[in-house]
Amino acid sequence: MESIDHVILIGAVVMSLGIVVGAFSARVGVPFLLVFLGVGMLAGVDGPGGIRFSNTWLSFLVGNLALAVILLDGGLRTQFTTFRVALRPSLSLATVGVLVTAGLVGWFAAWVLGIDWRLGLLLGAIVGSTDAAAVFSLLHSSGIRLKERVASVLEIESGINDPMAIFLTLTLMEWLTAPEGLTPGGLAMRLVVQFGVGGALGLGLGYCLAKVLERIRVAEGLQAILLCSGGAMVFAIVQTAGGSGFLAVYLTGMLIGNRDRAVTSDTMRAMDGMAWLAQSAMFLLLGLLVAPHRIWEVALPAVAVAAFLMLVARPLAVWIALLPFRFNAREKGFIAWMGLRGAVPIVLALFPLLKDVPESGLLFRIAFAVVLASLLFQGTTVSVAARLARVLRPGYPEPLARSRLRGTRAPTLEVMQFEVGPNSPVENVRADQLELPPNCRLMTVARDEALAAPEQTVLRAGDAVSVLAPATSLAMLSVLFQTPGRAPAWEQASHDFLLSGDAFLRDVAGLYGNRALTPAEYPLTLEDAMQQVFTSPPVEGDSVEIAGLRLTVTRMDGARIIQVGLLLPRLEGERPAHRWPRKRKDP
């Protein structure tokens, strides 16, 4: 009994230490996941904790289960609308990108480490895919808002690229141990089964689980547990059938998250806690599993492999995979830099250890070092890289509270509560005269802990205003109720003033255009004209030139362009009038 108490105490201390240290380190940009990994290593055999842990099978089990929960939570938060702009490029990155990355890293690793080229390819396959846990965690906790196209590609790619990495890893392991069983037809069938069975069963079982969740009413905590256990069942069933359980559980979460009555906002908050528990437990356990002195023995070649992956292999793979799609050089550069490695490569590196593949210990240590380097260098520079690449969208503060309205046919209708900020556009405006976005309705105004009559109340700073609105109106409402802030760099230089997407192109071109419109262009609105010119679905921040007019998408509602920025023609070298002037230095 005493030893059990000691185990519980040690586990609680390690977990608490990871959370406390992570809270402080997050202020300087260090990812939580790196902190948990570091705390696990400090508690391990080479650290002050001195815990001897070498149970590879248990680590593999916990790693798979934790990844299933993390991917389920990521799928719950992925909206179908993101597939409008990101499905095809994400599929290309998840297949062609992983294949190119694995090949390049494999060739380089075989040369640097002096190992058989097949072992090098196996290492390339292990570290070839981005990690959903790392990507989801950093995108959601970094406090930045990326362009929709870039953020969607990163999230979907990390959620669906595991089947290719698993396929390559298992195939190369079989090639090393039993090559006589490999045939081209068998390999093609294995790849089809990984994606096909994983996709089909993920959607089918996800639909059944969504129906169960819609009909069973339990407390939010129990609903989150039911959701996790259901996701684990989907994962296990698909894995047993030979498909990719990771792909299946991600699709299951996505299907459930996009149904109106399957989960509530409280359940989503409970799932957030489940995902953090899974991530922290997994990274602590993986940190305990490794012996840092063994990694130090291969530090130089490991750093070389990590640098090659981050600076050469991943950028080349991204450039090749995104060649057919409409991404500029800055966006491709940021997507390449955000190729974070995390728990997935470490879990895949356990495959050779469990199968006693030659040099499996070396492969595990190199993979672990690559993950450390990725989290340390890429994970800590997400905000800086986003600013340099100019892939940020205008930020807006979250409302005080928001809750999805249930029992209606409008699945995105929510009740949102905002606090009126000082000098905001609505300050000193009578509540019943507010010009709200379309389909929005004022509900209540609270002041000094009491409700006020909207038709008689002039809003002032500190009032709490409740609005019934579509979720897509959140950004516009936040701007309306909050104190105006400085626009991001891409927005400062993109326009001189804003126009409605419903404005007619002929009216704007008649004032500012430099050529006559064609008969086909004459009846179009700005939105219609821009949609015709874009070669791929537009997102906020995209620009196009029509009739000499530089038009930028500044606000969207789903697939619709509802606000357009116009940059007036100017002489060469002339700057937009609204740019922020630089401070002059005294002579």
Which one has a higher pLDDT value, 411 or 470?
Answer: 470
The answer to whether the Cα torsion of 32, 33, 37, 38 is positive or negative is negative
User: How far is residue 546's CA from residue 521's CA, in Å, rounded to a whole number?
Assistant: 10
Q: Which CATH superfamily is domain 401-481 in?
A: Regulator of K+ conductance, C-terminal domain (3.30.70.1450)
Which one has a higher pLDDT value, 93 or 483?
Answer: 93
User: How far is residue 145's CA from residue 140's CA, in Å, rounded to a whole number?
Assistant: 9
Q: Which H helix or E strand runs over 318?
A: helix 314-321
- CB distance 287 to 43 below 8 Å: yes
pLDDT at 389 over 50: yes
Q: What fold characterizes domain 489-567?
A: 3.30.465
> What pLDDT shows up at residue 61?
87
Average pLDDT, the chain: 80
User: How far is residue 237's CA from residue 258's CA, in Å, rounded to a whole number?
Assistant: 23
Name residues whose C-beta falls within 8 Å of residue 549's C-beta, 6 or more positions apart in sequence: 508, 509, 512, 513, 566
Residue 369 half-sphere exposure, CB side, CA atoms within 13 Å?
A: 25
Task: Give the distance between the most distant pair of CA atoms in the chain.
Answer: 87
Q: Which H helix or E strand runs over 543?
A: strand 543-546
> What pLDDT shows up at residue 213?
86
> What pLDDT shows up at residue 34?
75
Which amino acid makes up residue 308?
Answer: F
Structure tokens given for 287: 């940190």
Question: Interior CA angle at 355 toward 354 and 359, to 5°?
Answer: 95
Looking at the DSSP assignment, which residues form a beta bridge with residue 491? none
- The stretch 501-522 carries a mean pLDDT of 80
Q: How far is residue 93 CA from its own chain's centroid?
A: 14
pLDDT tens-digit readout, 319-359? 999 998 878 888 899 999 988 888 788 888 888 888 888 88
- CB distance 369 to 299 below 8 Å: yes
Per DSSP, the three-state class of 566 is strand
Looking at the DSSP assignment, which residues form a beta bridge with residue 468? 415, 441
The pLDDT > 70 percentage for the chain reads 87
- SS3 percent helix, strand, coil of the chain, rounded to 5, is 60, 10, 30
pLDDT at 408 over 60: no
Looking at the DSSP assignment, which residues form a beta bridge with residue 404? 414
Q: pLDDT class for 82, splitting at 50, 70, 90?
A: confident
> What pLDDT shows up at residue 22?
63
CATH class of 2-389: mainly alpha
User: How far is residue 340's CA from residue 367's CA, in Å, rounded to a whole number?
Assistant: 13
Distances (CA, A) of 14 to 19, 28, 43, 70, 361: 9, 22, 7, 21, 26
Which one has a higher pLDDT value, 365 or 180?
Answer: 365
Which one has a higher pLDDT value, 536 or 43?
Answer: 43
User: How far is residue 231's CA from residue 64's CA, in Å, rounded to a whole number?
Assistant: 12
Which residue ranges make up each domain of the chain? 2-389, 401-481, 489-567
Residue 326 half-sphere exposure, CB side, CA atoms within 13 Å?
A: 13
Out of 37-41, 57-61, 534-538, the most confident range is 57-61
Please state whether the predicted TM-score (pTM) of the whole model is above 0.85.
Answer: no
Phi, psi of 566 (to 5 degrees): -110, 125
- CB distance 396 to 153 below 8 Å: no
Region of poorest pLDDT, from 300-309, 507-516, 564-573: 564-573
pLDDT tens-digit readout, 53-75? 778 888 888 888 888 888 888 88
